[in-house]
Every structure is written in structure tokens, then in C-alpha cells.
Amino acid sequence: MQDDHVTIIEVGARDGLQNERNWVPTDVKLTFLQKLADAGCNEMEITSFVSPKRVPQMSDAEDIACHPFTKRDYVLVPNEKGLERALAVSSHVTPAFFVGASSSFQLKNIGMTHTDSLHLIPRLIAQVKNQDRFSRLCVSTAFYCPFEGKMDENQVVDFCIPYIEAGVDELSIADTIGMANPKQVQSLFHKLQQTFPNVLLTAHFHDTRKRGLANVFAALESGVRRFDTSIGELGGCPFAPGATGNVATEEVVSFLDDLGMKTGISLEGLSAAYRIVAPVLRRPNPTTYAKLGPFSITAYE
């Protein structure tokens, strides 16, 4: 991979829309996802195979996942039933598993203890690997937990070891409540790269305290070239009052463009994608681009 190439994993349709109280119609989601793909997003989280009772917004997971959009369409699967549903729908989807570095957060979020996850997730990873599929593990609260406070980075690294040993291909390391600072980002990713040199590392930042782009830059300086982002800063954390969504895709893409990095994503294409979903959202777009004008930076040149 070229050192100036950065992969953006667009998570707005899953991590973002799952928090929307207004129902987003399936046809709107499908058009939204296709527009994101047309804009150059080559990897996306498209839906989640969770209980429709717990997350009604994801009740159309089968209808979404049967449509291929990118080279990697990630679907979140929290348990055996979720994986069974995902694998039954399509051979092209890529399962993404979920664990919390904080035991308190994980228990409240998905109702599993760390022991539960250690018994379950490696077995599901093995099942996916037996089918020659790529597998992704999302590690939440890797920096701070709303219940336990600051996480110990050495414990976070050790926490990942059994999942790496199970054969997972990618770790998405999340600052779930948006409290990390660039120094902490550099330190943790440096340790992760030293410990797991053959595993893809992805940075997942929230912009609660407006440190998102600073943390993106810190991760870049640490050698990270994969980032989870969400168009229009969609998303949030139900267990962290006031926490905002993921760092906005359009702001990260513009920032990387200015740094001379290559994402292959069009800002105008992102704008077109956001216009599809904007009418059904319950809040305005909070990003700088929405406040100042078009996504394109040409407006300010």
C-alpha cells in the first residue's frame, strides 16, 4: 500500500443511522449507500444483524445486505444468531464483531461479560475464517469508558490478544465517547502496531470534544492508514450523554486532501449522498461544511 493512500470506512449507514429515532425507509438507505459507493467509498458498514426489538432501525438488515455496494460491505454481528442471519443472506458481506475494552460498557451495551465474549467471538471468527472471509473486530471504549474512566493502554493491548490469536484480520480501535487526545492516540496505536504487526489497524474517532481531526492526524503520524468515519457526523453513543457521532467523513476527506493524502472519495459525491438521507433525519448537519456552505473547498479558494 502506498504511504499516501488512506482508506475510509464509511459507517454512517450503520453506526450513524442506528441511533436515529425517526424510521429511515429501506429504499432511502439503499439509495444512500449507493450514492456513498458512487462517491468513492470502497468499504462501508451497511447494516447490523442485531435484535429488531433492541434496534428497530436495523430491522431491514436482510433487505439491505442482499445488495452489494463495495468491495467490503461490513455487517455488524453481535452473536451466533446474528452471524447465522448474515451468512444466510449473501456470500459477499463481511462480518464485523463487537467487543468493549471496558467490561462495564460492554455489559450495558450488548449484555455480555468479557468472559462471554471470550467464549463466543473467537469461535465465530473461526467460523468466518473457515469460509475464507475477511473478519473485522470493533473494540469500543479503547481510550475512555463513561463508567470506568481512562482505560489502561497495556490492558487494552492484552485484551485484543485472544481475538488476534483466533485469526481476526482487522482491529477497529474506537474512542467511543470522544475523550482521547493525540498523545494517547499515538501511544496506543504505536503499542498495537508493535504487538500486532500483521493485523490491519483502523482508527475510529468521535468528535465530542472537537479533537477528531487532531486525533486523525496523530494516528496518521503513527502510521495508521484506515479510518472509520460517518458522513454528516451521524451517530452517537446511547450510554454517554452528550457524545456526538463519528468524526465526519467530509471533514476527514477534505483534511486528508489538504495534506496531500489520497482517499479516492469525492466531496461533491458525499454531498449528493447526504442529500438523500437528510430529509428523514431528526437534526441538522452539525459539520463545518454544512455551516459554511458546500462540501467542496473550492468555495473558500
> Are 175 and 224 contacting, i.e. CB atoms less than 8 angstroms apart?
no
Instruction: Assess whether 237 carries a catalytic annotation.
Output: yes
Q: Counting Cβ atoms within 10 Å, is residue 281 exposed (0-12), middle (13-18) or buried (19+)?
A: middle
| Gap between the Cα atoms of 67 and 60, Å rounded | 12
Residues whose CB is less than 8 angstroms from the CB of residue 6 and which lie 6 or more positions away in sequence, other chains included: 220, 225, 226, 227, 256, 261, 262, 263
Query: Which of 71, 76, 66, 62 lies closest to 41 in space, CA to CA?
Result: 71
> Are 261 and 46 contacting, i.e. CB atoms less than 8 angstroms apart?
no
| Gap between the Cα atoms of 80 and 123, Å rounded | 9
**Cell representation of residue 108:** 450495558
| Active-site annotation, residues | 237
